[in-house]
Structure 1
Amino acid sequence: MRDVVQLVRNGPSALFFEQSLDSRLISKLLFSILLTGAAQSHAQSPLNQYLDEAMMRNPALSAAGQDVEAERQRLDNLRARYYPSLSLSARISVSEGGRTIDFPAGTLLNPVYQTLNAQAVAMGQPARFPTVQNQSIPLLRPTEQDTRLQLRGPLYEPVLNQQVQAQKEALNAQEAARQQVREELTRDLQVAYWQMAQSQARIDVLKASQKALQENRRVNDALYKSGETTLDAPKRALAELLDVEVQLSDAIKQRKLAQELFNTLRFVTVDSPVELPDETLQDNTLQALTDLLRPSETEARSAPEITRLQRSLAAQTAALGAAQATYKPSLGYLIEGGYQGRDYSTGPNTGFATASVVMNWTLADGGVRNSEASRARAQLNALAARAAQVSRQLLLARSQARENLLVSLNAIPARKAQQDAAQESLRIVTRKRDAGEATQIEFLSSEQAATRARLALSAAVHQARIDHAIWQYHNRDIPELQALQGVAP
């Protein structure tokens, strides 16, 4: 810090700084530099690399992305229905039997023809009219083909308009759901990471205490063998050592579980190594860390849970509009062209072309449309009530997360003061023990207090980081939604 002050005062702008910077301003400047360094160290921690890696590998986030793509394709499908569709249809048929139309041509014409032929013969002329057979015309042709192009499209589709709007909102809701999965994954990764760091710090403290207690046991065993102490001293030393070893085993187990959870979220093997931060719990770094983790309301973002519910409400409103739009008629057009006949030979009178405007209007359906509209209205009211409930729950969770973080931050200086006091007491008792002025019970008690103080400070620091990760997740701009009282039909 002194080097920075000297650089500021002796630089090119020394005169300006000499006149305008007092000791208080310099202190603020140095503190801001320290805080910026802590923030940069926090931003460059290995955790950020693990977060980026998890965002690319996590299957839950990948599945959420595919759900978004599915909703987008469905929206494209609905929008494509506004455009005309062109289709080719071809049919060839072979038939036999079936109904016929009988035309008695011979019965009607042959008597007349016979009379005319008789008159012609009587006049010396040849017979001029043939004998006609009765006709039987089949309704089914023995062979027939029909080939046509059809162009059709909508002119007025009120249901389709509402369906497209509903799908737009459904897509937005699914994107909010993906963002929710991403933020939940970030929170879970951060919590698991700092739980692992907390367990590792606990392991380091307990291992250091274990070494001290092992040496203490060795000394007490030697003193007992030489007759300078009673049997209770080595037994107490052994008991304290075993207790620390049990705590160490529990800390190792907790670290393993946290590492397995963290690697599972990263979607790598559970025993993959994880790099943990190397933090020093000094007064200056603890103060910078406390200021860095302090909750700030200005960083609040919109909650994806609320965004998802709001978009779902809009989608359900459009779905209700689609159900009500079924009472309206729809208009479309159909243009056809092609040719048909007994075979595929072309010629006069084989081609055709038609153009039609088609209206479809359901006048009565036994209450089917009314039931669909009522169901959509009930779903809308249920969704609105659920949104109001989730809004209250998120407000409560944000308040609890903020209070938990504040309590954790306030615990850090208290735990640091306890550790300093315990370390100083242990240092004094150790010197007294070496000089023969302190009993073994006093040393063990001081060692226990120092170990508990170191564990408490480490736990407080990492608990603050865990609570900060939870606070970051819950620090949202949450509107207080109200349940709908009803929807106009």
Structure 2
Amino acid sequence: MSGTRAARRRSPSLIACALIALAPYAAAQPADDQRLDAYVREALRSNPVMDAGMQALLASDLEARATRARRLPALGLEARYTRATGGRTIDFPAGQLFNPIHETLNRLLEERGEPAMFPTDLRDIEEPLLRPREQETKLTLRAPLYAPEIGAAIAARAAATDAARAGLEVTARTLVREVKRAYFGAARADAAEGILEASRDLLAEDLRIAKVMEREGTATHDRVLRARAEMLAVEQRLDAARAGTRQARRQLARLLGRDDAAGLVLPEAEPDGTPAPAPADPGPDAEADTVSSRPELARLDAAIAGAEAQVDAGQARRLPELSLAADYGIQGADYAVDSSDDSFGTVSLVLRW
């Protein structure tokens, strides 16, 4: 979770761009239906599929940035301090070579009456390959000069980001359509329930009148039975309508990410009892009236471009790569720059094939 939050902090521009891209889907309703507009926005914020798509888009964008960064020069600092004991040594038998020679020279000098001048107690030299103390501190610069594989990899990552963005648009379009369908479906079910309740009240009054007429002798008993049968039929339909209304409300609540459908507010019915008509939707479907603007096809095009870029990257691996490598620093037994000047610098052209 902390990695995801850090990634969001590192890339706020991507989140803003994604929200701007989804704004047409969230604000697809006219101004007279702010409630549906709020439900659409709530669904876009709380839907787990949308959140997963946003995270996939964010990850793809970060990977594309990392790939583009491979083209830039890299400057780094490297420091090393070493304490060494033992190890291999360079042996030079100085005593074994020069002591006999010096003895011979001294004897010749003594025969001539001159004092001995050459030492005869020289020891063999044993020099370790590793110094007891050693440090090396340097600045390193690495810069690619010719790297065709990096360009192909950048194109592949850009195509993957476009595919993730188009996939997010497809998910948003589908979610908005389902929310609208559930919203107006629940409104129709609620209005139908109201109509049946009104019909039941009318039939109950008709049954009462039929009973009064039967008592007064102006109607037969069959009219009472017929009125009772009609009211029972309406009550049966009313029970089914109530179950349908509950199911429609639960479906809308599920799309909104809610556990309880009690707080949902649906459009009110017209005065004649008919449900409020769904407003014309000039949303994403109206904007995508041409085949070329469909996000589904945009996602396919991005996938094709990504596959072609992968092929180009495979072919680019056969080409040579040329890069620049430069180092500058100090080395020696201690951290000091004195008259001996322990600083060094190297510049190299590196060819890899």
Band the TM-score falls in, shorter-chain normalisation:
0.7 to 0.9
Could you say which residue in structure 2 is the equivalent of 1:108?
97
3-state SS of paired residue (1:315): helix
- Is 1:328 equivalent to 2:319 in the alignment? yes
Write 1 or 2 for the structure with the bigger share of helix: 1
- Is 1:99 equivalent to 2:88 in the alignment? yes
Q: Distance in 2 between matches of 1:186 and 1:293?
A: 11
Return closer, same or farther for 1:142/1:187 CA change in 2, 3 Å cut-off: same
3-state SS of paired residue (2:102): helix
**Aligned with residue 299 of structure 2, among 281, 292, 308:** 308
- Is 1:255 equivalent to 2:245 in the alignment? yes
Provide Cα deviations, 1:456-475, integer angstroms capped at 9, x if missing partner.
Answer: xxxxxxxxxxxxxxxxxxxx
**AA matched with 2:325:** L
Q: Conserved in 2, the CA contact under 8 Å of 1:329 and 1:360?
A: yes
**AA matched with 2:143:** G
**What is the Cα deviation at residue 134 of structure 1?**
0.9
- Correspondence list, 1:273-292, <5 A: 273-279=264-270
Provide Cα deviations, 1:303-349, integer angstroms capped at 9, x if missing partner.
Answer: 11111111111111111111111111111111111222233343325
Q: Distance in 1 between matches of 2:324 and 2:278?
A: 70
- Is 1:180 equivalent to 2:170 in the alignment? yes
Could you say which residue in structure 1 is the equivalent of 2:59?
70
**Aligned with residue 106 of structure 2, among 117, 126, 145:** 117
Could you say which residue in structure 2 is the equivalent of 1:337?
328
Could you say which residue in structure 2 is the equivalent of 1:141?
131
Q: Distance in 2 between matches of 1:127 and 1:293?
A: 116
Provide Cα deviations, 1:38-81, integer angstroms capped at 9, x if missing partner.
Answer: xxx96512323332443344443343233222222211111111
Q: Distance in 1 between matches of 2:286 and 2:171?
A: 23
Return closer, same or farther for 1:271/1:121 CA change in 2, 3 Å cut-off: farther
Between 159-168 and 123-132, report the one with greater CA deviation: 123-132
3-state SS of paired residue (1:339): strand
Segments of 5+ residues of structure 2 without an aligned counterpart are 1-28
Identity of aligned residues (%): 34
**AA matched with 1:316:** A
Q: TM-score, normalised by structure 2?
A: 0.80
* Two-structure CA RMSD over aligned residues (Å): 3.1
- Correspondence list, 1:156-195, <5 A: 156-195=146-185
Q: Distance in 1 between matches of 2:133 and 2:272?
A: 95
Q: Conserved in 2, the CA contact under 8 Å of 1:260 and 1:271?
A: no
**What is the Cα deviation at residue 223 of structure 1?**
4.8
**AA matched with 2:229:** A
3-state SS of paired residue (1:356): strand
Q: Conserved in 2, the CA contact under 8 Å of 1:159 and 1:325?
A: yes
Could you say which residue in structure 2 is the equivalent of 1:44?
32
Provide Cα deviations, 1:352-391, integer angstroms capped at 9, x if missing partner.
Answer: 2111111111xxxxxxxxxxxxxxxxxxxxxxxxxxxxxx
- Correspondence list, 1:450-469, <5 A: none
**Aligned with residue 261 of structure 2, among 264, 270, 284:** 270
Could you say which residue in structure 2 is the equivalent of 1:356?
348
Provide Cα deviations, 1:428-484, integer angstroms capped at 9, x if missing partner.
Answer: xxxxxxxxxxxxxxxxxxxxxxxxxxxxxxxxxxxxxxxxxxxxxxxxxxxxxxxxx
**Aligned with residue 196 of structure 2, among 202, 206, 209:** 206
3-state SS of paired residue (2:181): helix
Segments of 5+ residues of structure 1 without an aligned counterpart are 1-40, 362-489
Q: Distance in 2 between matches of 1:104 and 1:312?
A: 72
Q: Distance in 2 between matches of 1:187 and 1:211?
A: 36
Q: Distance in 2 between matches of 1:67 and 1:281?
A: 49
Q: Conserved in 2, the CA contact under 8 Å of 1:263 and 1:272?
A: no
